Amino acid sequence: MKKLLLLFTFFICVAFTPSDYVLLHQIPFNHVKAMTTDNLGNVFVIVENQLLEFDASGKPKANYSEKNLGELRSVDVGNPMKIELFYPDFGRIVMLNSSLAVQSTINLRALGISQASLACHSFVDGYWIFDLQDYQLKKVTLDLQIASQSGDVRKWSAGKLLPNFLIEADGFVYLNDPSQGILVFDRYGTYYKNIPLKGLSNFQIIENELLYFQEGSYKAFHLKTLSERSIILPAQDSILSARIEMHQLYLLTSGSLSFYSF
């Protein structure tokens, strides 16, 4: 399995031409707030505070909407069986199953986390939260205990810190700030290093590659060698986001969501 993943990582980093992609499906969309994918090829988009799910071919699968918790800021589908939705206005995490039915709701304020601004799933039984009250990254366990805290993360930044994206991958936690870069922590919340990629809104990590779309370019940054390569995309106007799952590419533009194979 590891060998196959390494071969896939190499494959996505080589130079493509637009003719290498085959358009499978395209869905007209306006005002999509966010798009992400799981490792099964399902696509999730947030539209008007509603979560919509499509399968790898673009067929609608399920939807979820909650009108009483304020803004749906993010969805983490790192575990397709436990989908995490984050509502910062009320300090809530809502966990859904694979059918987008509610499994549980977590009140972060009841745990003493008063200004949660970011949240993501932890693969080691719990959740990561960034608390603006004390600028700490906090690990909440499944039994709703705060197990780890990073300390004030501002001491590892060069200026004002306003993180906008949080994700755990391969045993590390990545806290992104557009003006400062990416602060990396280990699974215990201990600071590890800073990745000097600035201006990002989100990214995807596959093995040792950090994939991101920025200013019209899709790039793969190698987390060990620090080398960077460009990935050619199909010709599309107004691309906002791109993601890869196995041999499929997903492109979100200002007017559509497109599904490609390669």
For residue range 125-177, what is the model confidence (pLDDT) as tens digits?
899 999 999 999 999 999 999 999 999 999 999 888 999 999 999 999 999 99
* pLDDT beyond 90 at 16: no
Quickly tell me which residue has 């499994």 as its tokens. Answer: 103
Model pTM score: 0.91
* Helices vs strands, H then E, count in the chain: 1, 24
Containing 93, the helix (H) or strand (E) segment is strand 92-96
Specify whether the CB–CB gap between 126 and 113 falls below 8 A.
no
Order of strands across the sheet with 136-141? Answer: 116-122, 126-131, 136-141, 146-149
pLDDT, residue 237, reads 87
pLDDT, residue 20, reads 86
Long-range contacts of 127-136, Cβ-Cβ distance < 8 Å, separation of 24 or more: 127/84, 127/93, 128/166, 128/168, 128/173, 130/163, 130/166, 130/175, 135/161
Q: Using 50, 70 and 90 to split pLDDT, how confident is the model at 30?
A: confident
- CA pair distance 103, 95, nearest whole angstrom: 5
3-class SS letters over 124-163: CCEEEEEECCCCEEEEEECCCCEEEECCCHHHHCCCCCCC
Q: Using 50, 70 and 90 to split pLDDT, how confident is the model at 78?
A: very high
* pLDDT beyond 80 at 195: yes
Q: What residues contact residue 192 under an 8 Å CB cut-off, 6+ apart?
A: 172, 184, 185, 186
